[in-house]
Amino acid sequence: VGIVGRTGAGKTSLVSALFRLEEPAGGSIVIDGVDICTIGLHELRRNISIIPQDPVLFGGTIRYNLDPFDLYDESDIWRALEQVQLKSAIEGLDEGLLSIIREGGSNFSVGQRQLFCLARALLRKNPILVLDEATANVDIKTDSIIQEVIREQFSECTILTVAHRLNTVMDYDKIMVLDKGVLVEYDEPHLLLSRPSSYLGQLVDQTGPINANKLRNIAFMIHEKKLSLTKNLT
């Protein structure tokens, strides 16, 4: 599910509510039929992974940052690093997995820090993954790696993506559009864009005519692909 909207639409507040950093003033958030307010905070957050816009890394070894509770084999950690294309860079360090990450990850690039967070999520493989504008501050190459890993390795998970770049979510199953803290649209991208007064359509058009056409084509092609798959199954 892609989550989009203008600045101040409520995207970050929605993510905060999901992790119960903020308790909803009304209504409820239900996952698999369970109101999250009835679940302990530790249990709730243990089952949801997040890759935030500003990657969170702590002073300590690479291994500690990826597996702080020592739950995984070293081979699992190397596999995760390979999947996010960091393996060769870490192998080139004198201490390998025991190399030190400075507080905040200042001795690594922004892109590498975000890939560390992605590797951490790969290890945990929780049923829900939240991407909170995770690619907003990274270069195109890192963005491409993140998108590829998400589509290949998390295909069986529920993914909630707060999108900075609309192209990252136009092939998603659903898009949720927020405006001034209110959910104003929720449907398949192609169906939303087919509506004359669509909020998503307005956001797409604001990217400029050339890019807007590309985004609409992506949504249309994905819709046609789904129809084709449905016909083949029947």
- Is 55:114 a contact under the CB 8 Å cutoff? yes
Output the pLDDT for position 35: 94
Using one digit for the tens of pLDDT, what is the confidence trace for 85-104?
Answer: 999 999 999 999 999 999 88
Q: What is the pLDDT of residues 153-196, one digit of tens each?
A: 998 999 999 988 898 899 999 999 999 989 999 999 999 999 98
This prediction has a pTM of 0.87
Scored b (16 or more CB within 10 A) or e, 126-142 reads bebbbbbbbbebbeeeb
59-78 burial: b if 16+ Cβ within 10 Å, else e: eebbbbbbbeeeeeeeeebb
Can you list the domains of the chain with their CATH numbers?
Answer: 2-187 (3.40.50.300)
